[in-house]
Structure 1
Amino acid sequence: MTEDEAVETFYSEERWQNWLTRIEAEELDPENEESARLLLNLQDDAAIAIAKVLTALMEDRIGEERAVEEIRMIRDIVLAEVAFEDEDKLIMIDGVQTSLIPVFYAAEEYVIGGVVEGDISEFIRAAADAEADEDLDAALGYVVQAGTRVIDGEPLDIELIEEIEYGLVAEWVNGLDSLQTALDDPEVVEED
């Protein structure tokens, strides 16, 4: 049995499409708890897939090259443009996609470069400062560095979001929170 045959499929286009089909069929209201839960489950499901890739790597079930390929494949599926006619739903899906961006890059950075030394809260504050200075590349870089620490097991204090102004960094930290939850308990989120 080859390495590829021995390991499960971590994510698929079909799985993502099933979520999108469900969201397209639902009446979504971001203020409604069920709608919010559905979007969070969509986000968590992708984060769980990344957590499973990282776990497979850490348990030596797959190598670094395969891990990077899987992370990139999941990223390509999840970040592909969505064709909804409903503008509000597009905005909601875009929010989920935005939150997951640092999850993919942190996972890839972790596999290729390892854990970045430093303190999560300092990285998040530096990211918020960079966002305030309109340096979004630097802001994302800091959040990605924080993400490598999350993958390494350092706890992310979600209250950090309350300290920073709402914007991209807050959304990105929300994605890292999904990753942390997925790494702590990588149970599959049921689509139904």
Structure 2
Amino acid sequence: MSENEEEYYADERWQNWLDRLRDEDLDPEEEDSARLLLNLQDDVAIAVAKIVTDYQDGDLDEEETLDELAKIRDTVLAEPDIADEDTLMLVDGVQTSLVAVFYSAEQYVADGVADEADVTEYVQAAAGAEDEEDFDRALGLAACAGTRIIDGEDLPMELADDLEYGLVVEWVNGLDSLQSALAQPEVVEEDE
């Protein structure tokens, strides 16, 4: 672990977000609720971006980086203890978006940048795989797009407008958070 980081993303931080969501009367159509969910997603993406940046800077080796990513992934993707079905569904949407963030970072560290296509082509191929119900392949292709974003390529957000709503759109949403986090790795305050 790099000397200046105690912990990239504590389990307690995720639990604080979940506590806050349990206390809110969430309505995804309402701007405050939508912003809260996006802040939750961005907060995790920022932690992932910091780990990847420390890896790029040589502060973490491959094994340490993958360990740190796995710690956050295990925390964030665990089944949340939320009784309200609507809130649980909204958190599940955030978790789904973040799946692509984790897989992209892990693939980037383990295999480097995917180089057979650009971001747009990978996303379109992922959508095609989703249409064929080949979800593992779709996620793999979305992760390839993510490695290119980590490498500095821009994700055109209008890309999602052309896709039928589904997993790939959720993953693109997560990759957009990752792109923002890499550009501006500022911590999202939980009380914003």
Q: Same fold (TM over 0.5)?
A: yes
Alpha-carbon separation, structure 2, partners of 1:129 and 1:115: 21
| RMSD (Å), alpha carbons | 1.0
> 1:18 maps to what in 2?
16
Shift of residue 146, structure 1, vs aligned partner: 0.3
> Which amino acid is the alignment partner of residue 130 of structure 1?
A
Is 1:71 aligned with 2:69? yes
CA contact (8 A) 1:103 1:147 kept: yes
Structure 1: runs of 5 or more not aligned: none
| Counterpart in the other structure of 1:154 | 153
Distance 1:65 1:135 in 2: 30
- Matched to 1:70, the amino acid is E
Q: What residue ranges of structure 2 are gaps of 5+ in the alignment?
A: none
For residue 7 of structure 1, report the CA deviation from its aligned partner.
3.1
Query: What is the match of residue 180 of structure 1?
Result: 179
Shift in Å at residue 64 of structure 1? 1.2
> TM-score, structure 2 length as denominator?
0.97
CA contact (8 A) 2:26 2:33 kept: yes
Q: How many pairs are equivalent?
A: 190
Question: How far does the alpha carbon of each residue in 1:34-73 deviate from its partner, in whole angstroms, 9 at most, with x for none?
Answer: 0000000000000000000011111111111111000010
Residue 161 (structure 2) pairs with residue 133 (structure 1): no
Distance 1:25 1:6 in 2: 33
Tell me the distance in 1 between the aligned counterparts of 2:161 and 2:134. Answer: 21
Q: Distance in 2 between matches of 1:4 and 1:173?
A: 30
Structure-to-structure mapping, 1:91-106, within 5 angstroms? 91-106=89-104
Spell out structure 1 runs of 4+ moving beyond 6 A.
none
- State yes or no: 1:90 paired with 2:88: yes
How far apart, in 2, do the equivalents of 1:135 and 1:191 lie?
37
Name the structure 1 match of 2:120: 121
Matched-pair contact (CA < 8 Å) for 2:100–2:142: yes
The two structures have a TM-score, normalised by structure 1, of 0.97
